[in-house]
């Protein structure tokens, strides 16, 4: 049987190997986790959640929307006026870039635009969008917690 990771690579191989996505290896998302790795983990988490709750979804759409949800292509840690409201504005930027570089359908569009709900008030309209919203938050919490643990371990080592 195919692993979730293999399914992500199969449904989103062209996205993962694209120059835009590959550039996100160099942008940090949470702690030491790159945007590339975060996006991959979120896509895997989306598939896991959908299978766990036995929700029928279009897996290709689910994976592709998840891989592109943070396709904003800049380092939000760098202080720059255009990144000031990153939390609120990056879904729109990600969608703009995604539409420029890939074919993006209606469901993927809603997934990308609404993944920060309820911070942004755009409502998730599809089950794939709701799954992404939850998966993104689970991965973010895991990444932040892992980073905190590493920092605490580092403190005790000194």
Instruction: Restricting to residues 51-80, name those near Fe ion by CB under 5 A.
Output: 70
Q: What is the DSSP string of the chain?
A: ---HHHHHHHHHHHHHTSHHHHHGGGSEEETTEEHHHHHHHHHHHHHHHHHHTT----HHHHHHHHHHTTTT-S-TTS--GGGTTHHHHHHHHHHHHHHHHS---HHHHHHHHHTTTTTS-PPP-SHHHHHHHHHHHHHHHHHHHHHHHHHHHHHHH-
Nearer CB in complex with Fe ion: 1/78: 78
Size of the site for Fe ion (CB under 5 A): 2
Check residue 143 for interaction with Fe ion (CB under 5 A). Answer: no
Mark residues 76-115: x for contact with Fe ion by CB under 5 A, - for none: ----------------------------------------
**Contacts to Fe ion by CB under 5 A:** 70, 136
């Amino acid at each position: 049987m195919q692993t979730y990771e293999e399914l992500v690579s199969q449904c989103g191989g062209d996205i993962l190997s694209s120059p835009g996505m590959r550039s996100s290896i160099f942008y940090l998302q949470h702690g030491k986790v790159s945007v590339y790795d975060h996006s991959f983990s979120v896509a895997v988490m989306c598939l896991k959640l959908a299978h766990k709750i036995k929700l029928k979804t279009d897996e290709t759409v689910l994976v592709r929307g998840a891989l592109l949800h943070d396709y904003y292509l800049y380092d939000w840690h760098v202080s720059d006026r255009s990144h000031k409201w990153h939390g609120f504005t990056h879904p729109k930027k990600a969608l703009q870039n995604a539409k420029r570089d890939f074919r993006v359908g209606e469901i993927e569009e809603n997934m990308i635009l609404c993944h920060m709900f309820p911070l942004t008030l755009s409502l998730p309209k599809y089950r794939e969008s709701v799954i992404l919203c939850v998966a993104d938050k689970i991965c973010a919490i895991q990444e932040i917690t892992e980073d905190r643990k590493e920092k605490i371990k580092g403190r005790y080592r000194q």
